[in-house]
A and B are shown apart, each in its own frame.
Chain A
Amino acid sequence: MARAVVTAPTRARRGEIVAVKTLAQHPMETGFRRTQTGELIPRDIIRRFTCTYNGTEVYRVDLHPAMSANPLIAFSTVATETGTLAFQWVGDNGYSVTETASISVE
């Protein structure tokens, strides 16, 4: 199960700074840990998170080992126009999750 939860306001005034919170379900296995028999557990992390606002990139994060499981990424953007916030998480082993949120700007 690959789940991501996004919380963003559905309505905002033009020019308002809006807070966005995202939570992605992921083990973020560092690649440095070993099993009880000494074998290395292969790395399995989210590498990149991007947020686009009506097609324009407004926020991007590169993620690395040693970040927590189920990473919470919270940021803010300026509500400029009515439209869609699109979120994408991309990672190892073909992990790719997308989520969208609509925002109406008055």
Chain B
Amino acid sequence: MSLRSALLFAASLLCAGAGAGEIPPSERRSGYDLMSRETRAIQDDDATNPGMLWVLDGEALWNRKAGAADRACTACHGDARTSMKGVAARYPGFDAALGRPVNLEQRVNFCRAERQKAPPLAFESRELLALTAYVARQSRGLPIRIAIDARSRPFLDAGREAFHRRQGQLNLACSQCHDDNWGRRLAGSVIPQAHPTGYPLYRLEWQGLGSLERRLRNCLIGIRAEPYAYGAPEFVDLELYLMWRANGMKIETPAVRP
């Protein structure tokens, strides 16, 4: 997108005046519903969904022994198809020891450090994406269930505040696109409602699988804000808010997006 079109878009947002506000539950739509028929077909069939390549890699990693403890994920968790069912629908989850929510990627790495005595996997590495895709795949079709209690409420509020805060050189808030102008177009692309139902997902633009944080970094760079580092608490708070905002929507992992 050129600077000029970005500025025009920003100006049109200002003209739109007071936004539509938060999306009522009956009007919530997954990015899936806004995609072309062809892209939906790629996602719908496991035989054509390239995200399944990562899921299969994740299954192999799940069963492979790792670290100084020489244990595989199966040693504690057993068959992921039962033990990991619904887990991704509850993440980011609150970690009592850390006193804050952690996302699925961080949970995998904590598990590696504590139980397997293995070095952490780098964010967006093939292995970490494969493991999180495999774990999240077990929740496909299940509704997102983020439960908020007194401990996690401050983090949810921080995420909500970040979603509504104008930032970057374009001085845009997430909500200005994703709450107020979803369904309209930004350049050639339809603006989705930003429900993270299918992460980690295969983006045709990336030609690969990526995490929600990679997507958030894209958005922040798009509004010319400085993106947070992977695993930053600000990101996890925002992820928590986005998942809470999508409560009840079904997990699609591994989703495909344009």
Contacts and interface: CB of A to CB of B under 8 A. Distances in A.
Interface of A: 1, 3, 5, 7, 21, 23, 25, 27-28, 68-70, 72, 74
B101 interface: no
Nearest to A8: B47
Given A69-B207, A69-B208, A3 B48 contact: no
B52 A1 contact: no
27 contacts: A1-B57, A1-B60, A3-B56, A3-B57, A5-B53, A5-B56, A7-B46, A7-B47, A21-B45, A21-B48, A23-B47, A23-B48, A23-B50, A23-B52, A23-B53, A25-B53, A27-B207, A68-B207, A69-B50, A69-B207, A69-B208, A70-B53, A70-B208, A72-B42, A72-B48, A72-B50, A74-B48
Contacts of B50: 23, 69-70, 72
Given A21-B47, A23-B47, A69-B207, A5 B57 contact: no
A69 B52 CA distance: 14
A69 B51 CA distance: 12
Interface in B53-68: 53, 56-57, 60
8 closest A-B pairs by CB? A7-B47, A69-B207, A70-B50, A21-B47, A25-B53, A72-B48, A1-B57, A3-B53
Q: Give the size range of B's interface with the partner.
A: 10 to 19
A87 to B, nearest CB: 13
A30 to B, nearest CB: 11
